[in-house]
């Protein structure tokens, strides 16, 4: 009997107000994260990957969840009391962001920020919190922690700031860590160290990781399962090795093909996807990818394909799968009967 | 074409005498369009000095691409600006098509600037939001008095079509385009004066992956059609490998290794290049968990205001010796078209001490 998921996002819809009216940034997105698991949400600009993670944390700003549910250990977060959400943030789920410099408060020392995170959720003395903060700084590999605990964020490098962010996020041992493009702003040699750190923290604390990224190689290195998003929808999901090695969805396949790798032939044009990602205000009819899809059929421009189960634990949103007789999937609330 | 000997004051030491650093060989070796020798650039700010570029030499053959790859503080963007004389070097030489750029008169420079252009990283940020496309792409033609009126419009349409846009875009503003399209506008603008050399400074870094591939294809196609040379600067090793014929790996203002992209990936020699190649996330869907760990990344790129003495990389280097801490390495040629600036490759003998 598999253990119940830690996080369950079901049929999530997120809207944002814009000068031209309300736009749907995320439409009907569902995914789960099991305890201790690493799930990557991958997509390009406008895919809705960041918005989905912010929705889980309840940090949407002007946006709102218009329908759907977010269950953390079975507890519904959508519409819940803001006080309860604040309690959960830090103790059960925490988030780190792309640019640590803008997420850390420039007016407080690094130590104070970790202590604040601890004392917001735990009844401990300042002295105990400080000792724990030191321990955390050591654990995240910050050199010279006794001195650095008194540093201000601007005195640290990007990589060091990100380590501090991780320390703050893990201060109260949350079961789920959400990382939104945690290494995108870092040099690659620093990125490698931060990814190593995240893996180590997961191993030592059993933390699940929901990793938002545009970088397929990071997905390949870090994740157990991957959720591919395009223009606000999930278009494919499944175990990482399987999806990356043999993707079902034409977008996933085209995306992987367009990534330059050490083996990419240099004397040929790269297989590029023509056109660009549609904005939420300009979604094409039917399948959102169809104008750019090399395999598009007439039906694709008229009807939105559902997410279909195409294998064990694998799903893909594409009309091509109907012709192979794939069975309908009860994946996240969307059920369709095949032909 | 032997390289001359430089003084250690310039910071990079001499090339082993008698050796020649040649650009990537081909059946017929193309002539050299652009050459930089021992470029040094220091910035003085509020009491301390930033050693942005510390003895960089490179050659760009006609119709070829030289890649510069490095992390923060490597100095690669400063080299881009020095190449076009957007900044003047503290010392060193710059030659474009045989002309000494640092001795050129203002009139000569103006004429030369038509032949060297640049494409920047942030497509929307580098275009004037108040300018329509016609103006943005046509401005170089006006400044250099190449065309005006009807002729200007025709030429701009021609340029737009070359980059995959059209006359329909003439009167739009940059914010009406996606990142990839805006970068095409930037490229059209760079092509306006019919240059021989284009410096691409992180030209695709801000683009989505699928769009990045489109722009790389466009750049390569234009190179083949127009015989362009590129100085291609990026932090993404995979992108540089795809674009460049020869890659220069930079660390803290110096070129630490030089060679063909495939060789650098397969057989990096400089400890920093090894660390860099190991650090690049590997897309190997067939492989389980652990990455190919050649060199575990250590430490962070040091600051160019405070470069470590001797070999700048020594604090992060697992193979550093006493000599590395005090003596800057010379550039050693280890194969055709390959150089490494590291004491480990000193043919004169062992690195002293341990």
Q: Which residue has the higher pLDDT, B291 or A324?
A: A324
Fold for A7-228, please state it: Rossmann fold (3.40.50)
The yes-or-no verdict on residue B335 having pLDDT over 60 is yes
In this prediction, residue B24 carries a pLDDT of 47
pLDDT at residue B19 is higher than 50: no
Predicted confidence at residue A241, as pLDDT, reads 92
Is B224 within 8 Å of chain A by CB? no
Partner A contacted by B306 (CB < 8 A):
no
Closest CA to A285 of A265, A270, A305, A268: A305
Average pLDDT over residues B255-284: 91
Q: How far apart are CA A193 and CA A201, in angstroms?
A: 12
Q: Which of B209, B236, B300 sits opposite A255 (nearest CB)?
A: B209
Residue pLDDT, tens place only, B192-243? 999 999 999 999 988 888 899 999 999 999 999 999 999 999 999 999 999 9
In 3D space, the residue among A10, A11, A50 whose CA is nearest the CA of residue A28 turns out to be: A11
Band of residue B10 on the pLDDT scale cut at 50, 70, 90: very low
Give the residue extent of every domain in chain A.
Answer: 7-228
Coil, helix or strand at residue B200 = strand
Q: Could you report the per-residue pLDDT of A135-189, keeping only the tens digit for each? A: 999 999 998 999 999 999 999 988 999 999 999 999 989 999 999 999 988 889 9
Q: Kindly indicate the confidence band of residue B15, based on its pLDDT and cuts at 50, 70 and 90.
A: very low
pLDDT at A44: 92
| pLDDT attached to residue A281 | 84
The predicted pLDDT at position B296 comes to: 78
Tell me the chain B residues in contact with residue A254 when contact means C-beta distances shorter than 8 Å.
Answer: 210
Instruction: Verify whether the Cβ–Cβ distance A269 to B217 is below 8 Å.
Output: yes
CB contact under 8 A, A270 and B217: yes
User: Do A188 and B282 make contact, defined as CB atoms within 8 angstroms?
Assistant: no
pLDDT at B285: 52
Which residue among A187, A255, A277 places its CB closest to the CB of B301?
Answer: A187
Q: Please name which of B310, B215, B315 lies closest in space to residue B272, comparing C-alpha atoms.
A: B315
Task: Specify the pLDDT at position B294.
Answer: 59
- CB neighbour list of residue A206: distance below 8 Å, 6 or more residues apart: A35, A36, A175
Give the pLDDT confidence of B38-79 residue by residue, as tens digits. Answer: 999 999 988 889 999 999 999 999 999 999 999 988 999 999
Our separate counts of H helices and E strands in chain B read: 10, 12
Residues in chain A closer than 8 A to B213 (CB atoms): 258-260, 270-273
- Rounded distance, CA B135 to CA B147, Å? 13
Q: Which residues of chain A have a Cβ shorter than 8 Å from any chain B Cβ? A: 44-45, 157-160, 187-193, 195, 214-218, 220-221, 240-241, 244-245, 254-256, 258-262, 264, 266, 269-274, 276-277
**Of the candidates A158, A188, A254, which has its C-beta nearest B279's C-beta?**
A188
Contact between residue A38 and residue A227 where contact means Cβ atoms under 8 Å apart: no
Q: What does the alpha-carbon distance between residue A194 and residue B328 come to, in Å, rounded to a whole number?
A: 30
Nearest to B238 among A192, A193, A261 (CB): A261
Residue A246: CA count within 13 A, CB half-sphere: 4
Q: For residue B124, what pLDDT is reported?
A: 81
pLDDT number for residue A324: 58
Give B81-115 pLDDT, tens digit per residue. 999 999 999 999 999 999 999 999 989 999 999 99
* Blockwise average pLDDT, block size 10, chain A, 339 residues: 85 93 94 96 93 94 94 94 91 92 92 94 93 94 92 92 94 94 89 93 94 93 96 96 93 94 91 88 93 93 94 93 52 30
Please check the confidence at residue B2 and state whether its pLDDT lies above 80.
no
């Amino acid at each position: 009997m598999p253990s119940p998921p830690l996080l369950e996002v079901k049929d999530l819809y997120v809207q944002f107000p814009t000068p031209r009216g309300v736009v749907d940034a995320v439409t009907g997105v569902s995914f789960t994260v099991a305890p201790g698991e690493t799930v990557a949400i991958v997509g390009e600009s406008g895919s809705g990957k960041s918005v989905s993670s912010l929705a889980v944390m309840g940090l949407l700003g002007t946006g709102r969840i218009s329908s759907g549910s977010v269950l953390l250990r079975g507890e519904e977060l959508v519409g819940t009391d803001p006080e309860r959400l604040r309690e959960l943030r830090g103790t059960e789920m925490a988030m780190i962001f792309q640019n640590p410099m803008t997420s850390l408060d420039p007016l407080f020392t690094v130590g104070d920020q970790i202590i604040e995170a601890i004392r917001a959720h735990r009844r401990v003395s300042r002295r105990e919190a400080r000792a724990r903060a030191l321990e955390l700084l050591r654990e995240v590999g910050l050199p010279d922690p006794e001195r650095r605990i008194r540093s201000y964020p601007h005195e640290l490098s990007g990589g060091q700031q990100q380590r501090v962010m991780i320390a703050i996020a893990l201060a109260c041992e949350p079961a789920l860590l959400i990382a939104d493009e945690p290494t995108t702003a870092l040099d690659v040699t620093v990125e490698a160290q931060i990814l190593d750190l995240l893996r180590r923290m997961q191993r030592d604390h059993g933390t699940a990781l929901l990793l938002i990224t545009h970088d397929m190689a990071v997905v390949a290195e870090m994740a157990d399962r991957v959720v591919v998003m395009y223009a606000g929808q999930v278009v494919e999901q499944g175990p990482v090795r399987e999806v990356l090695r043999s993707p079902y969805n034409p977008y996933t396949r085209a995306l992987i093909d367009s990534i330059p790798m050490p083996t990419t032939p240099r004397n040929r044009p790269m297989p590029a996807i023509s056109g660009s990602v549609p904005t939420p205000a300009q979604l094409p009819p039917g399948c959102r990818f169809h104008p750019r899809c090399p395999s598009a059929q007439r039906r694709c421009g008229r009807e939105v394909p559902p997410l279909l189960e195409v294998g064990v634990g694998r799903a893909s949103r594409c009309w091509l799968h109907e012709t192979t007789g794939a069975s309908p999937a009860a994946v996240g609330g969307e059920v369709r009967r095949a032909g | 074409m032997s390289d001359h000997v430089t003084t250690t004051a310039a910071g990079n030491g001499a090339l082993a005498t008698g050796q020649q650093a040649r650009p990537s060989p081909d059946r017929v070796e193309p002539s050299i369009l652009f050459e930089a020798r021992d470029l040094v650039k220091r910035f003085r700010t509020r009491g301390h000095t930033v050693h942005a570029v510390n003895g960089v030499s490179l050659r760009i053959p006609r119709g070829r691409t030289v890649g510069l790859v490095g992390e923060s503080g490597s100095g690669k963007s400063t080299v881009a600006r020095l190449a076009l004389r957007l900044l003047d070097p503290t010392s060193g030489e710059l030659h474009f098509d045989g002309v000494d750029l640092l001795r050129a008169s203002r009139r000569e420079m103006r004429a030369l600037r038509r032949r060297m252009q640049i494409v920047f990283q942030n497509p929307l940020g580098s275009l004037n939001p108040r300018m329509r496309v016609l103006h943005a792409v046509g401005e170089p033609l006006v400044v250099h008095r190449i065309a005006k009126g009807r002729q200007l419009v025709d030429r701009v349409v021609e340029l737009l079509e070359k980059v995959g846009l059209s006359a329909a875009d003439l009167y739009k503003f940059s914010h009406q385009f996606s990142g990839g399209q805006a970068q095409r506008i930037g490229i059209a603008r760079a092509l306006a004066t019919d240059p021989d050399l284009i410096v691409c400074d992180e030209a695709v870094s801000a683009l989505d992956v699928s769009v990045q591939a489109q722009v790389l294809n466009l750049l390569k196609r234009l190179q083949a059609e127009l015989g362009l040379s590129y100085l291609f600067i990026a932090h993404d090793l995979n992108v540089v490998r795809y674009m460049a014929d020869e890659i220069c790996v930079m660390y803290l203002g110096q070129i630490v290794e030089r060679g063909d992209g495939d060789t650098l990936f397969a057989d990096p020699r400089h400890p920093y290049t090894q660390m860099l190649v190991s650090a690049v996330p590997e897309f190997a869907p067939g492989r389980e968990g652990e990455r190919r760990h050649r060199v575990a990344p250590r430490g962070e790129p040091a600051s160019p205001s405070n470069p470590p003495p001797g070999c700048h990389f020594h604090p992060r280097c697992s193979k550093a010796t006493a000599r590395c801490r005090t003596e800057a390495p010379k550039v050693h040629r280890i194969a055709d078209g390959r150089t490494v600036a590291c004491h480990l490759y000193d043919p004169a003998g062992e690195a002293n001490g341990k």
